[in-house]
């Protein structure tokens, strides 16, 4: 066994809900090529992530990283906030 640490998988997305305590819901979009027609389609996934400081608001662009299961649905942790949402 080596002593090197493995990199956790990271994805970026938009916060769509922060109504829970220390939890955010992040929408991650990706482009997938249709197997027959070749057209690129947008597909999205909603992921629950742990936000220890409750620092995120709806509309923020964030980077989340994979971690051990924290609850039934939560296996991601907030790594950093890339950009804050505009306050209207």
Q: Which domain holds residue 61?
A: 10-83
For 11-33, the pLDDT digits (tens) are 999 999 999 999 999 999 999 99
Within a domain: residue 79? yes
CATH code at position 47: 2.40.50.140
> How far is the C-alpha of 45 from the C-alpha of 4, rounded, in Å?
31
What length does the chain have? Answer: 88
Within a domain: residue 42? yes
Within a domain: residue 88? no
Number of domains in the chain: 1
The whole-model pTM stands at: 0.86
The owner of tokens 């790594």 is 79
For 21-72, the pLDDT digits (tens) are 999 999 999 999 999 999 999 999 999 999 999 999 999 999 999 999 999 9
Within a domain: residue 50? yes
Within a domain: residue 4? no
Element housing 29 (H / E): strand 23-33
Structural contact between residues 37 and 51, judged by C-beta atoms closer than 8 angstroms: no
């Amino acid at each position: 066994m080596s002593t090197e640490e493995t990199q956790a998988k990271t994805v970026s997305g938009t916060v769509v809900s922060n109504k829970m305590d220390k939890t955010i819901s992040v929408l991650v979009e990706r482009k997938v090529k249709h197997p027959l027609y070749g057209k690129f389609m947008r597909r999205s996934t909603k992921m629950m992530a742990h936000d220890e400081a409750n620092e995120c608001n709806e509309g923020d662009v964030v980077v989340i990283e994979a971690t051990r299961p924290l609850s039934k649905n939560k296996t991601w942790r907030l790594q950093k906030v890339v950009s804050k949402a505009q306050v209207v």
